[in-house]
Amino acid sequence: MENRPRLELRRVSKVYESAGQKLEALRDVSLCLEAGTVTALLGRSGCGKTTLLNLAGAMDLPSSGEVLIDGRPTCGLTDAELTAVRRKRIGFVFQFFQLLPTLSVLENVELPLLLAGVTTAASEARNRLRWVGLEDKFQAMPHQLSGGQMQRVAIARALVHSPDILIADEPTGNLDTASGEQVLGLLADSAARFGAAVLIATHSAEAARIAQVRVRMRDGRIEEMERS
């Protein structure tokens, strides 16, 4: 049980249908993410990175194959069960931060715990914000923060409920170099410190450098996988 992968994709394919046309976004992809590791998904736009992230984050279901989160397949789960999986096991970081503009920094970070009905959300949220270095911004509103600060809040939010898997979609895509490095440092640290399996979709070479596993994708397939 200890060595069970946090996330496993077994021969996963995803086909979208639009106006009678079939589009195969993922083809026969198999991947395994261990706890405490960072995996980088590399490749051009449209190669299937985001589709893979959505399947890994229990936001979507594969057309064929299996996605196992902590050993449990997502296929056959109801919408409510998929929601429960996301609440407990998944954290998301987006390219455009996606903080709710009407909530304070602290409330944004509390949100995943509040949605899960946890009553001690505030103290957990404060801890995570201290960890990302924003202990002086609890009551600030998102529009009062810089891009780097917003992404750090997003990382604190993604980790507040101690998820098994942290999914980041182009987390540095909208940041300057210094902020990007700071964010990448936090993502690497989150794997080491909290034992999360971190999956990053990125174009950035810097992001790739912090990963222990680099997966290069092309036309919906894994073209190359490299471990360091």
Partner 1 sequence: MIAYARLLRSFILRPLRRDTVRTLLTVLSLALGVGVVVAIDLAGDAAAGSFSSSLETLLGKVDLQITATGGVDERWMGELSGLPLNISLVPVVETLATVDGIGEVELFGLDLVSGVARENGTDLSGDPDDALVVSAALARRLGVDRGDRLRLTIGDTRREFPVVALVNAKDAEFLALDIAAAQKAVKRFGRIDRVDVLMTEGENLTAVEAAIGNLLPASYTVERPGTRREENQRMLRAFRTNLRVLSFISLVVGAFLIYNTIAVSVVRRRAEIGILRALGTGRQRILWLFLGEALLLGLAGSLLGVGLGRMLAEAAVALIAQTVNALYVSSRPAPIALDLYTALAGIFAGVGVALASAWAPAREATQVFPSEAMGRGAHESAARLAWKRKLLAAVLLALAAVAAAQAGPIGGRPLLGYASALLSVASAALAAPALVLAISRFTRTAARKLAGVEGLLAVRGWTASLPRTSINVAALATAIAMMASVAIMVSSFRETVLVWLDYQLRADLYVRPAGRSGTLAPEVIPQIASTRGVEAVDVFHATEFRFRGERATLGAGDLEIVRRYGRLLFLEGDRDHILSSLRGQDRAIISEPFANRHAIATGDRITLPLGARNVEVTVAGVYYEYSSERGFVILDRSTLLRYLPAQPPTNLAIYLNPEADATAVKREIQRKTAGKRIVVAENQALRRNAVRIFDRTFAITYALEGVAIVVAVLGAASSLLALAIDRRRELAVLRFLGASAEQIRRMVLLEAGLLGLAANLLGLALGFALSLLLIYVVNKQSFGWTIQFHAPPGLLLGALGAVCLATVLAGLYPARVASRMPAIEAVHED
Where does this chain touch partner 1 (CB under 8 A) — which range of 61-69, 75-83, 179-187, 215-223?
75-83
Is residue 16 close enough to count as binding partner 1 by CB under 8 A? no
Q: How far is the CB of 80 from partner 1 (least distance, A)?
A: 6
Interface map 114-153 toward partner 1 (x if CB under 8 A): xxxx------------------------xx----------
Element (H, E) at 17: strand 7-18
The position carrying tokens 């991947």 is 31
How many residues bind partner 1 (CB under 8 A)? The answer is 31
Q: How far is the CB of 79 from partner 1 (least distance, A)?
A: 6
Near partner 1 by CB under 8 A: residue from 98, 127, 162, 212? 98
Is residue 100 close enough to count as binding partner 1 by CB under 8 A? yes
Nearer to partner 1, 8 or 169 (CB): 169
Rounded-to-10 torsion of CA 64, 70, 71, 72: -60
CA dist., res. 98 & res. 189, Å (int): 22
By the 10 Å C-beta count (0-12 exposed, 13-18 middle, 19+ buried), 95 is classed as middle
CA dist., res. 81 & res. 84, Å (int): 5
CA dist., res. 158 & res. 167, Å (int): 8
DSSP H stretches of helix in 45-134: 49-56, 79-89, 105-115, 121-131
CA dist., res. 92 & res. 85, Å (int): 13
Element (H, E) at 68: strand 64-69
Name which of residues 146 to 185 contact partner 1 (CB under 8 A).
157, 161
Q: How far is the CB of 212 from partner 1 (least distance, A)?
A: 25
Q: How far is the CB of 103 from partner 1 (least distance, A)?
A: 6
Nearer to partner 1, 57 or 180 (CB): 57
Contacts to partner 1 by CB under 8 A: 50, 54, 57, 59-60, 79-80, 83, 86-87, 90, 92, 94-96, 98, 100-103, 107, 111-112, 114-117, 142-143, 157, 161
